[in-house]
Amino acid sequence: MILYIKNIDTRQDCNKPWEHLLERYPALVEPIRESWNDPSSFVRKIYMITPTKTRAEQIPDLTRLAQTLYLIPNLFWIVVEDEPQTTLRLRRLLQSFNLPFIHLNIATPDYLKPTQNQSTWRRPRGVFQKNIGLQWLRTNTNKNEDALVYFADDDNTYHWKLFQEIRKVQSVGVWPVGLVGELLYERPICLNGRVHSWFHYMYRKRKFATDMAGFAIHLRLIHHYSTYVFNVSATSIAEQESQILNTMTTIDQLECLANNATKIYVWHTKTQSTFLTSIEKLRNAGMKYDLLNQL
């Protein structure tokens, strides 16, 4: 067993602890040096679209994601809430992070939401929210801007190196995604930097067998295909990725990143739903709280 504990000299100037930050926490050195000293980090912005919905795990999931984003320069976070109106609790949370962001909203129609006994994967999720994010980009960004667009679920796990790979994209780039499709990973199989085939098990007929977390698109394509929106029909399960990629690129044009698609920098993790005592039982016990107004 190897135990690593860095000794901290408490006699150092405690009035300016940030001056000793990298010395005390050497694990921060590499991401800061590589991300913040890379010239492309400041030339090529990343616009990250994150759909999110009200649930018990929403705030911890977004908090975890924000901790990663602190390491990423020149990123603009487009958070789209699945609600009829933006909620105060989420706005307060996003403001507390002090990250560049825009808070948008649109509610998913009830007929597209999973029923009580239906698995969530049987219904398209985050579709309306991603479309609002695309609409915002087309209205508020310049088509000539050298920037990248990435769709990021709020409960995925992201390595800071993923964002370095995103900045390498010239048109559409792809990479592996871990813990997805009933496999440890799905990935493009690449030869000489181009996609030859796909390693996947679920939904075998997919033309582009990747997860939404497994690609990024140059902003100019979002503007060029200005009428594209994600299909919101209930029959489009597992086809969202293929629809947008088939519209904006071809398999031959895909760029294999993350060391020729051999490194995993994003995982399709899912926060386990927390068992909560029903409002009725709490009311009978003389207890009351409102999830929407809790921070």
Q: What percentage of the chain reaches a pLDDT higher than 70? A: 86
The answer to whether the beta carbons of residues 180 and 186 sit under 8 Å apart is yes
Q: What confidence tier does 207 reach under pLDDT thresholds 50, 70, 90?
A: very high
Measured between alpha carbons, how far is 119 from 238 in angstroms, rounded to an integer?
14
Tell whether 110 is in a known binding site: no
Residue 280 forms part of a structural domain = no
What total number of domains does the chain contain? 1
Average pLDDT along the chain: 88
pLDDT at residue 175, as a whole number? 98
Average the pLDDT over 4-25 and give the result.
Answer: 60
The answer to whether the beta carbons of residues 31 and 60 sit under 8 Å apart is no
Q: When comparing pLDDT for 238 and 154, which is higher?
A: 154
Q: What is the CATH number of the domain that holds 89?
A: 3.90.550.10
Q: What confidence tier does 290 reach under pLDDT thresholds 50, 70, 90?
A: low
The answer to whether the beta carbons of residues 35 and 72 sit under 8 Å apart is yes
Residue 1 forms part of a structural domain = no
- Tens-digit pLDDT profile for residues 247-270: 999 999 999 999 999 999 999 998
Q: Count other C-beta atoms under 10 Å from residue 295's C-beta.
A: 9
Measured between alpha carbons, how far is 164 from 182 in angstroms, rounded to an integer?
27
Residue 34 forms part of a structural domain = no
- Tens-digit pLDDT profile for residues 98-136: 999 999 999 998 877 776 665 555 566 899 999 999 999
Average the pLDDT over 21-45 and give the result.
Answer: 81
Residue 11 forms part of a structural domain = no
The domain containing residue 162 runs over which residues?
Answer: 45-112+121-175+211-250
Average the pLDDT over 23-39 and give the result.
Answer: 79
Residue 95 forms part of a structural domain = yes
The answer to whether the beta carbons of residues 103 and 76 sit under 8 Å apart is no
Length of the chain: 295
pLDDT at residue 135, as a whole number? 98
Residue 36 forms part of a structural domain = no
pLDDT at 140 over 60: yes
Residue 177 region by backbone torsions, left for phi larger than 0, else alpha for psi between -120 and 50, else beta: beta
Residue 181 forms part of a structural domain = no
Residue 205 forms part of a structural domain = no
pLDDT at 1 over 70: no
The answer to whether the beta carbons of residues 231 and 237 sit under 8 Å apart is no
The active-site residue, picked from 81, 241, 255, 280, is 241
pLDDT at residue 41, as a whole number? 81
The residue type found at 204 is R
Instruction: Tell me if residue 239 is catalytic.
Output: no
pTM of the predicted model, to two decimals? 0.89
